[in-house]
Amino acid sequence: MLQDGRSKLGRAREWGSEMCERIVGAGIPIVRGFCYVGTLHPQVAASGYTWKRGEGKATRVPVEHGIEALVGFAGSPLAVALQTRQLVRRRLEDTAASF
């Protein structure tokens, strides 16, 4: 579906699903993927898209303003990546990791 580096898919959810399927098709054994797209909307800070292998298309998760104040988000890898603008890596087995 790609032509000259551009996708013919018009929605981020479809684009993310196809990207993850292509990654799996290339032999990289990912199980899930997540894409976060910030917005300028007064009520919705961003749209997140979660893809899980074997479940078909990604699921859209709207993110309201103020999520950064929630305890569950404050310590998450996404919060750290947004604050530091750095790559965050963590082994999924390491549930005690702090950021």
Parse the chain into domains and list their residue ranges: 2-64, 66-99
Amino acid 2: pLDDT: 45
Residues 6+ apart with CB under 8 A from 55: none
**Can you list the residues of the chain whose pLDDT is less than 50?**
1-5, 99
Number of C-beta neighbours around residue 53 at 10 A: 14
CB neighbour list of residue 60: distance below 8 Å, 6 or more residues apart: 13, 47, 48, 49
Question: What was the pLDDT predicted at 3?
Answer: 47
pTM of the prediction?
Answer: 0.61
Query: In terms of C-beta density within 10 A (0-12 exposed, 13-18 middle, 19 or more buried), how is residue 23 classed?
Result: middle
Q: What is the pLDDT of residue 90?
A: 76
Q: What is the reported pLDDT for 5?
A: 47
Q: For residue 15, how many other CB atoms are within 10 A of its CB?
A: 17
Structure confidence at residue 65 (pLDDT) = 86
Contact 53, 20 (CB under 8 A): yes
Residue 96: predicted pLDDT: 62
